[in-house]
Amino acid sequence: MKYEINDIITLKKQHVCGSYDWIVIRTGAELKIKCAKCNREIMILKKELDKKIKKTTKLE
């Protein structure tokens, strides 16, 4: 799957803060994503993220 900066990714499992949504900050072999609710940032491999994703939407 192809990801772009500012895409909103909805994951299957909740983050500890209760949010399902993450925002893509940086792309490459690894993606840097930020929680939409608590602003926690993590780095994750594309291959791992593809397994955890529910849907992707564009931020407008």
pLDDT (tens digit, 9 = 90+) per residue, 5-43? Answer: 999 999 999 999 999 999 999 999 999 999 999 999 999
Specify the pLDDT at position 12.
95
Q: State residue 1's pLDDT score.
A: 80
**Which residue ranges make up each domain of the chain?**
7-58
Q: How confident is the model at residue 60 (pLDDT cuts 50, 70, 90)?
A: low
pLDDT of residue 35: 97
E strands, the chain, where? Answer: 7-11, 21-26, 30-35, 41-45, 53-58
pTM flag (> 0.85): yes
Q: Which residues pair with 22 in a beta bridge?
A: 9, 35
